[in-house]
Amino acid sequence: MTDTAATPARRKVLNVGGNSKAIPIPAHYAGWDHLMLDIDPTGRPDIVCDARKLDTLAAEQFDAVYCSHNLEHYYRHEVPQVLSGFRHVLKPEGFAEILVPDLRGVMQALVQNNLDLEDTLYTSPAGPISALDVIYGFGVQIERTGQDFFAHKTGFTQKSLQLNLSRHFACVYSQSGNLEVRGLAFKNLPTDAQLRTFNLPPPSPPPA
C-alpha cells in the first residue's frame, strides 16, 4: 500500500531588510524557505516592500521574521508600525528575531576606551566603523548611494528593545553583547521545541 501521508510543509522565514541573500542568516534557519523583503530592489529581494507596509501582505504566512540591523532605519514613531507588521505576517506559533546596535554598549565603549565619536570603534568587512556610523548609519554607504534609507533614524538599548517588543508580542527574550542587542519575540507562548532550539528558559507566569 502506498503511503499517502502528506509531506510536512517547509517552514518559511521572511528576512526583512536583508539587502542580499549572499549575507548568511543564522544556522537555525537551515532547511527553511528563505524569502527576502527589502525596499531596495538592487539586491533582488523576493518581495520589494517597505517594512512599514507589511500589513499589505497576506496574514499569517511565515514561521519566522528575521530582521538584522534594519529596525533602527525607521523613525521612533514608526517602530510600532513595523513591529505590528511583523506580527501580522507571522503564523500563530511564529516568532521574530531582531538584531539592532546596542547604543548603551557603544557609549560604554567610548568611555572605557577614551574614544571620540569619529574614532574607529571596530573594523568590519566594509571597513572601519565609528560610533557615528553605529548611531547614524554607515556614512560611507550613505554618501556613496545617496539613499536616505541607509541612515539610522532611531536607536535601542536592551531595555528599550525589550519594551518595544513587549507591546506587540506575548513573550519576549533579549540579550546584549558585542555592541548588539538581540531580541526573540514570540507571537504566542513559545513551544517546547522553540525553547530547546534557542536554549531559553520557560516563560515566567503572569503576576497574580
DSSP of 77-131, one letter per residue?
Answer: GGHHHHHHHHHHHEEEEEEEEEEEEBHHHHHHHHHHTT--TTSEEEEETTEEEEH
Asked if residue 22 is part of any domain, the answer here is yes
Q: Give the rounded percent of residues in the chain with a pLDDT score beyond 90.
A: 88
Q: Is residue 42 part of a domain?
A: yes
Residue 57: inside a domain: yes
For residue range 79-92, what is the model confidence (pLDDT) as tens digits?
999 999 999 999 99
Residue at grid coordinates 537551515: 30
For residue 125, is it within any domain? Answer: no
Q: Which cell goes with 23?
A: 549575507
The pLDDT assigned to 1 comes to 43
Whether residue 138 is contained in a domain is answered as: no
Kind and range of the H or E element at 25? none
What does pTM read for this prediction? 0.93
Cβ–Cβ < 8 Å for 67, 120: no
The CATH code of the domain that includes 95 is: 3.40.50.150
CB 106 within 8 A of CB 156: no
Q: Residues 176, 104: contact at Cβ < 8 Å?
A: yes
Domain that includes residue 88, residue range: 12-101+154-192
In a domain, 158, yes or no: yes
Residue 130 lies in a domain: no
Contact between residue 164 and residue 79 where contact means Cβ atoms under 8 Å apart: yes
Give, for 14, the enclosing helix (H) or strand (E): strand 12-16
**H or E element that contains 207:** none
The string of pLDDT tens digits covering residues 136-195 is 999 999 999 999 899 999 999 999 999 999 999 999 999 999 999 999 999 999 999 999
**Domains identified in the chain, total number:** 1
Establish if 84 belongs to a structural domain.
yes
